[in-house]
Structure formats: C-alpha cells, structure tokens
Amino acid sequence: MTDKSNSRKRVSLACEQCRAKRTRCDGRQPKCGSCLQKKCPCQYPQGENKRKPPSKRYVESLQAHIAVLERQLVELGEKVSRLEAGQQNVSSVGGEHSSPPSDLVDTKSSNPSSPASLRDPIEELTQRTGRLNIGEDGQLRYFGAQSNYHLLHGPIYNEATRSIQEFQEIGLATAGLLGKAVDVPQELQDHLLELYWRWQNPWLYMIHKESFMSDYRNGGRGKFCSPVLLFAIFALSSRYSDRVEVRSDPEDPHSTGNRFAEQAKILLQHECEAPTTTTVQAASLLSLRWMSENKESLGWLYMGMATRMAYNLGLNLDCAAWVASRMITEQDAEVRRITWWACYKLDKLYCLGLGRPGTTRLSDITCQKPKLEAEVEFEAWLPQGKQDHILGAHTRTITAMRYSCDHLSMISEALETIYAPGHRLSEPEAEKIVARADVAFNTLYNSLPSHLRLPSSPRTPSCPHIYQLHIQFHVHQIQLHRPLIRHRQMPSQGVEEADTHLEACRKSATIISRILKTYQDHYTLRLTPVVTVVNTFSAAVIHLMGAASPVEDIRRSAQRSLRVCVLALEQMALAWMWSRRALRAVRLLAKEWLIPDAVLISSQGDEDGNININTSLQAPMDSGLGPEPTEGGCEGIAQDIKDTSTSTSTSAYNGAPVPPSLQPSPPVPAPEYWTLDVSDMPLEGDHPVHGQPPDLTICDFSDPTYLGLDDADWLSSLNAVEGIGGSFDSTAQTDPWVASALSQYSFQDPWVGIPEPPWPVQDEIMRIRYHEHQLFGFAQDNEDLNEDPG
C-alpha cells in the first residue's frame, strides 16, 4: 500500500512535456517532478482550456453579438434591394470596365542587371519605416522615414557632446544649491525599496529588479539605476509608509515623500536633455506621485513627458537586430521592453481614467512583450507585518502584466471610438462595437490561467496585483456598457425596465465592491495603488444610480455596495489625496441624484416622460421639505437634515428600532427610505487637523442604541453632512460622517453586522454563501440562500 501523502494528486492541467509524452504530471511549478527528474524544460500552456465549458457571461455576450449582426444583415438586405431597384432604371455607360492606365502601374524596375550598388537610393528613399541611430548624447534615438535621418547608417556625431553623467552631476549640484538635496539613511532606503518591490512594481512592472539592484549596489550610477530614478521610487513608495522620517512635516501625513519628489523633479529637469530608460521610468513614477497629491494636471504632463521620451528612445520598436549586431545586450533589450509596456499600460490607464486621448497606438509598436523570466515570475510574494498570515504565493508579475496590456489594447480601441468627440455613432453602430468588444473581453477573461483567477472563497488571499487586475477588467466593462444604458422613463413603484447594459454595469460595480472588501480584509486599502481611486469612483457612480432604483432589492444592494466604496475611498485618502476629489464628487452627485429622486413620484415630466433635473432640484425646497443646507458648518447642516427626517427610521442591524428620543418629527412626510437622524453623530471639531484619523473604538452592531442609521439614513448623510458650496480643500481633516462610519464598520470580520441565517447551519460554506448574499445581494451560483436548504 502506498502512503496517502506520497500518492500523486490529479491535476487539472499537465505541462506540455508530459502532455506530449502522455505521462502523468504532478502539476508542480516552476518544474514538475517528471521534468525535474529528466532535466528537460517544463512549460505549462497559457491558452484557453478547451475542455472547460464556456461561462454563462461568455454565452450571453456571444448572443448579444449575434443579435447585432442579425439586425445588420436585415438592414443591409433592405439597402441592397433598394439599390437594385434603382439600378434597373439606369443605362450602362462606357461598356465593360477597361484596364487601369499604364501610368498608374508601379513601374519600379527589379532588374538584377541594374548597376550594382551596396545601397540603392531609390529603395531607401521609398522606405516607410525609420531606424534607430546614435544621437548627439551617445544614446539610441529613433528617427522616422519622414525625418530623412533614417538614411544615415552610422552615428551623426563622432563623440557625444555631453554625457548623461554630466547632466546628472549638474542636477545634483542644482538641488544642493537650492537646499533640496536629501540625505537618506541606508536603513530608510532599504525600507522604501522593499515597499516598492512589494506593493508597486508587481502592479506596474516597470523596473527589472535584478538589473536595478546590481547598479544600486555599485553606487547607484549605471544604465539601470540613476539618482533621478532612485528618488522617484522613494517619492512614490513613501506613500505606502507610516514612518515619520519620510514626512516633510512630522504632524502632516499628507507631506509624506515631498522632499524626495522635489529633488527628483529637479534632477529630471536636467536629465530630460539626454534621456535614458531610467529617465522614462522616473517620469512615469513621478506622474503617479503627483496624482497622489491631487495634482492631476502635473501628473498628466509628466506621463506625456514619459511617453514622448520613450518614443524618442525607440522603446516601442523591436531591437532584435541591434542585439544581433552586438550594439546592445540582451539585458538592455529586456529592460527596454519592460519600460515600454509599463509606459503603454500607464498611458492607457490615464486616458481611460481621465477620458482624454492617449499618445500610444498599437500600430506604432513592434516591441515584444517582456519575457517570462523564472526569477521574476516565480518570486515569492510575502505580505508585510503579518507573521501569522504568510501567503508565499508566486507573484506571476510578468503574466499579469501581459494580460493587463492585452486587455487594455483590446478595450481601449473600442472605448476611444465610442467616446471620441469627433465620432457621431448611431446606436446600432455603437451596439456593434460594444458587442464585439464584450465578446473579446469574455474570451480573454475565460483564457486566464488559474494562477491569475481569484480564489473561489473570499477568505483565501491572492496577491494584491491580481485583485487590481480584476478591478481593471470590471471597471472597463462599466465604461464599455455605460454609454448604452437606456434613459429611464417614469417607473412604477417597485418595477424597473430590463436593460442588459445596465445589468452589466451593476454586476461589474458589485464585483469591484466585493474585491475592495476582500482586499481590505487581507491587506488594508491603505496599501493599494493610486489607480484604485478612480476605479472605486467609477463603481460608486453606478451604485449611486442603483440607490435611486424603484426596486427595493436593487436599491438596498446598491446602498450596501456604495458604503463599501465610500469607506474604501476614505481609507485610501491618507496615501492618495486624489481620493478626496472622488469623495467630494460622490457627495455632489448624491445631492443631485438621490434627493430629487425622493420626490420624483409627485414631479411632472415633459411630454416624453423625462424629468428636468434643474427643476427637480428645486422641488424639495418648494415643497416644504426644508431649507437649502447652509455653509455654517456641520451643526447647521445636521439641523437642516434633522428637520427633513421622518419618525419611522429603523436600524438595519439586527432589526433594532431607533430610540424614541432620536426620532424627529418632520413638518412634511418624506419617502420612507430617505430618513436620517444625526443628533449623535460627532461634529467637525471632534477630529484633529491635518488629515490624521482620530482614535475611534469599534461600535457594537448589536447595541440597540447604535445611532439608528440604516443604509438609507447613511446615504442621506452622504449628501448633507458636509457643506457643498465651499471650495475643495485636499488638506482638510477627516470628514466626520466618514470617520463615524469607519468607527462602526469593522473590516476585521467580513460578516460583522450581517444577521445569521434564520435556519440552523451545519456547513460553514453555506453560512459564508448566505452572508455574501446578504452583503452583495446575490450569490455566485444564483441560488436562493434565504430559504432553508433542508
């Protein structure tokens, strides 16, 4: 009898070597036992598993695409019939078609007996592609065919006019003269670099760690490590740190990394005259750094600088010929590939996040994707500060980067076409683009290898950049389907017209909320890339729209998911001040969308059934629902909201009623689900300044006296607890309504505040699924978990 521990387990996917020899594979990575024993290469197929049945979402997207194509065939058939009927009345002119004139035929001679020459001027002049050449600074530069410099096959200058080292020295001297030079202790450098390799580089694979660290250990001067890149890394990775040494103002956490960013900015100004790959990398990282300070214009500018320098260096081109001619090494070529595709990804994320045209096009790219290096792909990822929670999974950084770029290449073309200001697409044309892109997305999603998929249970952790990859997938699904959401007519109570595009947006937004919740449970949203801010904002907008739905289940599910998004934005605001802008935008939208919807039942629309939003905004005020919120601080605003509340508010937690002392009596009844009582909410003066969150205790959700805020109450506070009219101040202290919500919403236990199943539970998995259903409004298998399974 063989021991159970030594018996080989059945694996779902065998390596290519074992598959070809039809031998059993144990599925170990990076090498299975059979290949390790035979000392042969071991690779696992990355393509789609044909044995796996297609998902329901994939089938639905195919059906939608087929429906669009069928409609187009019907329309084309009608056009052809009309054209044939018109051509019968037109006589033929000119007889049969004649051959094209001889002067339009290409008469280029290819006669081998023409005069021999090593370089044919005609052939070179007619080339449409450029070439890499050596610039005046001794670095590779790309010149297109239109420039005429591509005709030169050798360096333009015999010697470089000024080397990159000279510009680096000038930059360091300038920083010293301006008092911006920073001396970073070695221990702090190690700390910041470790944060970068753990939280930033796996998500945006821009720096080849081995090449960088090799030059870093040799003094920080080389092709792969430079002072400007080093300080750019410090400026960005310090946003993940809570240490006081990285702050320019020890009392202000928002000043984290400012000194590093200022020095990197000075160094970059000088290195831009002779850019290298490290200059491109530094400009890209600094663009993210400026976004973290809510300096959106400066971040957009630096990203443009990075892509321009990348084109200048020809990073978008395949340099295999230069490797073959020994002009550059294979290591140089790989660093160029990594840098280019990181620039491409960041440029597309900027464009899709800000809704602006990008500078990178697939037609300009011949560069291959980064190679699968075992040292990078199978490097162990370990979380920080959790000794009892060691993940130790392979990072799969390169595979995740490849799929992320493939997805952006596929989706950006469709989104740029749909959202382009100069395009006037009809609805059928837009439907066709969306259907085709939706099918392509689902094909890509179904082809994801198992190590890039999320675990089936939210309690099983995955690497942080894997969560970011799936958030990217779903936020772009929202952007794809959102323009085709149909305008809602005046709905009847509790009924909403079916809309496939709206359902796709809601589903993706709910999944994003669920991923954010899972991320917070395992790692905390304090340690998340800045791109998560705009992605969370996109999901929150969809939830805001769902919160105004006439269907109670949809409305309550959207309210719960919206709460997760707003709390996530507040968590991220400490590191990424850009989150403050998103929070304010959510608050403004809540004021404009949710309060008017509360009185739409009695409002009159136009002849098409559409509601004038400007008229609706005034309707609550004219109907006696209370005065416009004042700008006199939270006390006056809280009183305004209290005057518009009803006496029927009920706590959503364990069904505990609101104490009678907390129930105000309004002058005019309002819809039941827009009630609020803020008499016990902390005021603005209770919180310290400079954005430092206060010490708050976790409230007991089972306490009947717990504030009495249900989901709708909390939503009402979203648009009324802070004054709307004041100017945006990114350095303001923590919002009291968010701080209060944070103190009452524990991320430590995923199911705090969620009631237990009403029937006896013997299986822990069934309990988890019931809680997921209560929290997100649906279960993964769409079963009704509210009923007793027994």
- Please give the Cα distance from 252 to 262 (Å, whole number): 17
Residues 47-89 have pLDDT tens digits of 655 556 677 677 777 777 787 777 777 767 665 555 555 554 4
Residues 349-380 have pLDDT tens digits of 999 999 998 889 888 899 999 999 989 999 88
Supply the DSSP symbol for 99: P
- Please give the Cα distance from 84 to 649 (Å, whole number): 69
φ/ψ of residue 394, rounded to 5: -70, 140
| Region class of 148: left (phi > 0), else alpha (psi between -120 and 50), else beta | left
Q: Dihedral, CA atoms, 765, 766, 769, 773, nearest 10 degrees?
A: -170
pLDDT the model gives residue 285: 97
Three-class SS state of 657: strand
For the residues of 398-422, what is the DSSP string, one character each?
HHHHHHHHHHHHHHHHHHHHHH-TT
Query: Contact 480/411 with Cβ under 8 angstroms?
Result: yes
pLDDT the model gives residue 425: 84
Supply the DSSP symbol for 464: H
pLDDT the model gives residue 770: 63
Residues 24-48 have pLDDT tens digits of 888 888 888 888 888 888 888 766 5
- Please give the Cα distance from 285 to 229 (Å, whole number): 8
Three-class SS state of 480: helix
Domains identified in the chain and CATH numbers: 11-45 (4.10.240.10), 164-361 (no CATH), 372-597 (no CATH), 625-753 (no CATH)
Residues 464-519 have pLDDT tens digits of 999 999 999 999 999 999 999 887 655 555 555 568 899 999 999 999 999 999 99
Sign (positive/negative) of CA torsion 139, 144, 146, 149? positive
Sign (positive/negative) of CA torsion 215, 370, 406, 445? negative
pLDDT the model gives residue 399: 95
Query: Residues near 734 by Cβ (< 8 Å), separated by ≥ 6?
Result: 570, 573, 687, 691, 692, 693, 694
> Given a cut of 50, is residue 707 above it in pLDDT?
no
Query: Residues near 403 by Cβ (< 8 Å), separated by ≥ 6?
Result: 444, 448, 452, 469
> Given a cut of 80, is residue 451 above it in pLDDT?
yes
Q: Name the pLDDT band for 139 (thresholds 50, 70, 90).
A: low
535 HSE (CA, 13 A, CB side) = 26
Residues 539-586 have pLDDT tens digits of 999 999 998 888 888 999 999 999 999 999 999 998 998 899 999 999
- Pairing verdict, β 131-134 and 140-143: antiparallel
- Please give the Cα distance from 520 to 572 (Å, whole number): 11
Q: Name the pLDDT band for 253 (thresholds 50, 70, 90).
A: confident
Q: Name the pLDDT band for 596 (thresholds 50, 70, 90).
A: very low
* Average pLDDT in the chain: 71
Q: Which of 562, 570, 578 is nearest to 525 (CA)?
A: 570
Residues 155-211 have pLDDT tens digits of 565 555 566 777 777 877 787 788 778 889 999 999 999 999 999 999 999 999 999
Residues 629-672 have pLDDT tens digits of 333 333 332 233 233 333 333 333 333 444 444 333 333 333 33
Q: Strand runs (DSSP E) across 83-154, as ranges?
A: 131-134, 140-143
Sign (positive/negative) of CA torsion 228, 230, 236, 241? negative
- Please give the Cα distance from 198 to 237 (Å, whole number): 10
Return the higher-pLDDT residue of 194 and 7. Answer: 194
| Region class of 775: left (phi > 0), else alpha (psi between -120 and 50), else beta | alpha
- Please give the Cα distance from 126 to 751 (Å, whole number): 68
Provide the token pair at 303.
Answer: 């990203």
Q: Name the pLDDT band for 392 (thresholds 50, 70, 90).
A: low
Q: Please name the residue that has the structure tokens 């063989």.
A: 2
Q: Name the pLDDT band for 786 (thresholds 50, 70, 90).
A: very low
> Given a cut of 80, is residue 381 above it in pLDDT?
yes
